[in-house]
């Protein structure tokens, strides 16, 4: 039986409720482009890079535009996203997230971040939890989007651990798939139906403890 030595956390939608701001910003852009975009479509963008998200939206609207226009749209979306984030209160970590990180530390588990976001460090700083992470793998360090396991493999490499000894916490379908492909233990955070492929599903980090997660995974 593998011994669990580390937790690798996705950021948006797991530690902080920024998933809603990504959605709001994409929805604003889609509206401008006259492309239908709802919360169900948004599930397919969770965990997916900025560039691939834009490409998916353009594809749904059957729109072809130049690379330069794509850059402009991505920039605009990010400006809106950051405006929302700037208004976010400093304590907007999801309920129980900070306590969960601390409890994991108290169990001597090692902690890494595996996020597709290029804004990850900014958000961790804002929440004042950057120091909790021994390794931070974000969208500036990856070349492949989830469901590629690259982001998590870079995380386990940075900790010098086998994927099988690490638990990934993810709120996205793409992220759960990435974790499973990489041979990690996958904990889905959110809706049981959407994340059914995960080894374990929790409603949020505040609904469990690191010890319970480890017990439940070592079935």
Q: What is the binding site for ligand BG6 (CB under 6 A)? A: 11-12, 19, 22, 45-50, 53, 78, 115-119, 139, 172
Q: C-beta of 217: minimal distance to ligand BG6 in Å?
A: 23
- Which partner in Mg ion, ligand BG6, none is near 145 (CB below 5 to 8 A by kind)? none
- Which partner in ligand BG6, Mg ion, none is near 50 (CB below 5 to 8 A by kind)? ligand BG6
- Which partner in ligand BG6, Mg ion, none is near 177 (CB below 5 to 8 A by kind)? none
In sequence order, what E strands does 58-183 have?
110-114, 135-137, 166-170
Interacting stretch for Mg ion, rule CB under 5 A, among 75-83, 143-151, 152-160, 170-178? 170-178
Are 187 and 199 a contacting pair, CB within 8 Å?
Answer: yes
Task: For Mg ion, give the closer residue by CB, 61 or 122.
Answer: 122
The 8-class DSSP code of residue 142 comes to: -
Tokens of 60: 């749904």
Task: For ligand BG6, give the closer residue by CB, 116 or 201.
Answer: 116
Task: For ligand BG6, give the closer residue by CB, 76 or 105.
Answer: 76
Task: For ligand BG6, give the closer residue by CB, 11 or 166.
Answer: 11
Are 206 and 94 a contacting pair, CB within 8 Å?
Answer: yes
What are the b/e assignments for 175-206, b being 16+ CB within 10 Å? bbbbbbbbbbbbbbbbeeebbeebbbbbebbe
Q: C-beta of 47: minimal distance to ligand BG6 in Å?
A: 5
Placement of tokens 């870079």 in the chain = 154
Q: Which residue is nearest to Mg ion (CB)?
A: 13
- Which partner in ligand BG6, Mg ion, none is near 45 (CB below 5 to 8 A by kind)? ligand BG6
Among 4, 7, 9, 12, binds Mg ion (CB under 5 A): 12
- Listed in sequence order, the residues at least 6 apart from 174 whose beta carbon sits closer than 8 Å to its beta carbon are 44, 46, 47, 48, 145, 146, 147
Q: Which of 44, 39, 47 is nearest to 14 (CA)?
A: 47
- Listed in sequence order, the residues at least 6 apart from 208 whose beta carbon sits closer than 8 Å to its beta carbon are 100, 202
Q: Is 165 a catalytic residue?
A: no
The residues carrying an active-site annotation are: 10, 12
Q: Which residues bind Mg ion (CB under 5 A)?
A: 10, 12-13, 171-172
């Amino acid at each position: 039986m593998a011994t669990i030595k580390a937790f690798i956390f996705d950021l948006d939608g797991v530690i902080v409720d920024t998933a809603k701001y990504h959605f709001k910003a994409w929805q604003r852009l889609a509206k401008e482009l006259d492309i239908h975009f709802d919360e169900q479509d948004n599930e397919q963008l969770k965990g997916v890079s900025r560039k691939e998200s834009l490409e998916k939206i353009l594809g749904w609207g059957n729109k072809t535009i130049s690379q330069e226009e794509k850059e402009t749209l991505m920039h605009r979306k990010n400006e809106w996203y950051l405006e929302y984030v700037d208004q976010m209160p400093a304590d907007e970590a999801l309920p129980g997230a900070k306590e969960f990180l601390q409890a994991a530390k108290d169990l001597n588990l090692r902690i890494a971040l595996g996020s597709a976001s290029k804004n990850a460090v900014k958000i961790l700083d804002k929440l004042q939890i950057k120091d909790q992470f021994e390794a931070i793998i974000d969208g500036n360090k990856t070349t492949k989007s989830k469901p590629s396991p690259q982001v998590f493999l870079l995380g386990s490499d940075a900790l010098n651990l086998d994927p099988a000894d690490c638990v990934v916490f993810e709120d996205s379908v793409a992220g759960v798939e990435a974790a499973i492909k990489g041979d990690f233990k996958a904990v889905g955070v959110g809706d049981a139906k959407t994340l059914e492929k995960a080894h374990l599903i929790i409603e949020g980090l505040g609904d469990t403890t690191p010890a319970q997660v480890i017990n439940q995974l070592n079935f």
